[in-house]
Structure 1
Amino acid sequence: METLNGDHISLRALEPEDLSFLKMIENDQAIWEVSHTQTPYSSYILKEYLKNSHKDIYEIKQLRLVIDHLEEAIGLIDLFDFDPKNKRAGVGVIIAAGANRNKGYGSEAVQLLIKYAFTYLGVHQLYCNISEDNRPSIQLFESCGFKQVGLKKDWNFINGDYKSEFLYQLIRP
């Protein structure tokens, strides 16, 4: 599908071979704050997740795609809380720690996902929630046209402290 192929990366469905990559991402405690994870995922749970990842977004209200660069998985991008009645969905993205960060791959992935969501799913708007101190994500989503529309004060309790969270939206032109 043309919509899911960019100049440097492509977005594709999860495959059983992605188990070790998925386990590395999901169990990276450095990003648990962003993913709201509190416990590690077992290989068994992730295998079961992969078995069901083929289900339709209209059924499970979520779509997770792998970000590929030169046929190597470098990240994940999600549509979540898909609401076909109100034509909206949340967006989340992660590029695995290491050499692939800060190269524009996250931005390209978000742009591809925007095009896919607006063109194929007919959504009217996309949104994301970003911690007030997550400058890289704020810059990423602002560079893709998202606008800050709200602040949820003391929204998340992280390491004994409350952090506020911004709400960003992109409404279809």
Structure 2
Amino acid sequence: MLSNETVSLRAVEPSDLDMLYMLENDTDAAECSFGTAPLSRHMLWQYIENYSADIHAGGEIRFIIVENASGQSVGTIDISDYNTRDRHGFVGIAILPESRRRGLGYAALKLLCSYASETIGAHSLAAQVSADNEASRRMFAKAGFHTCGSLRSWIRRGKHYADVLLYQILFQ
């Protein structure tokens, strides 16, 4: 388990099914994410059962974010599309609505960056952040990520499109 004074990051467990279901189907967060279809409990259960935490084999690692003060699971953070040759991947983070705007995502992101650089030897991480998601933009900037590009009209928001900003942090 990875830990700092604010949060701990641990492996996904079967007992996380309900929290994952809420996160993956949160309509407010869907405005900030890139998925379109709701996920069933059955699909999430299969994901948990078949999940491999070997980032070098599967290109992904997902952690459950636990708030240390309460001991409650409050979200997920992951590295996906990890390229073992070039040692880079993408960060994804989701926090339960009642736990947002309390610094937990930032604390988890800092911990994940330490893990990525020190444990798996990542050279860089990147994130795609909706240009209208001010909270995420501030969090990534505070954690040392820099804006390195944009994708215009990338996410559909009803009848219009929103831009996506690319953030990146280099470790070595």
TM-score, length of structure 1 as denominator length: 0.94
2:107 matched to which residue of 1?
Answer: 108
Q: Which amino acid aligns with 1:33?
A: E
Render the CA deviation track for 1:18-65: whole Å, top value 9, x for unaligned: 001100111111112333221211111110000022341112211111
For the residues of structure 1 that align with 2:17 and 2:6, how far apart are their CA atoms? 23
2:58 matched to which residue of 1?
Answer: 60
For the residues of structure 2 that align with 1:38 and 1:89, how far apart are their CA atoms? 22
For the residues of structure 1 that align with 2:84 and 2:157, how far apart are their CA atoms? 32
1:92 matched to which residue of 2?
Answer: 92
2:169 matched to which residue of 1?
Answer: 170
Q: SS of the residue aligned with 2:62? A: strand
Mark the runs of 5 or more structure 1 residues left unpaired by the alignment: none
With over 3 angstroms needed to count, the CA separation of the structure-2 counterparts of 1:104 and 1:55, relative to structure 1, is closer
Mark the runs of 5 or more structure 2 residues left unpaired by the alignment: none
Q: How many residues align?
A: 170
Could you tell which deviates more after superposition, 134-143 or 49-58? 49-58
For the residues of structure 1 that align with 2:29 and 2:131, how far apart are their CA atoms? 15
Q: SS of the residue aligned with 2:97? A: coil
Q: SS of the residue aligned with 1:10? A: strand
Q: SS of the residue aligned with 1:30? A: helix
For the residues of structure 2 that align with 1:157 and 1:17, how far apart are their CA atoms? 33
2:31 matched to which residue of 1?
Answer: 33
Q: Is residue 53–residue 62 contact of structure 2 (8 Å, CA) maintained in 1?
A: no
For the residues of structure 1 that align with 2:34 and 2:147, how far apart are their CA atoms? 21
Q: SS of the residue aligned with 2:94? A: strand
1:46 matched to which residue of 2?
Answer: 44
With over 3 angstroms needed to count, the CA separation of the structure-2 counterparts of 1:5 and 1:138, relative to structure 1, is same
For the residues of structure 1 that align with 2:8 and 2:100, how far apart are their CA atoms? 16
1:78 matched to which residue of 2?
Answer: 78
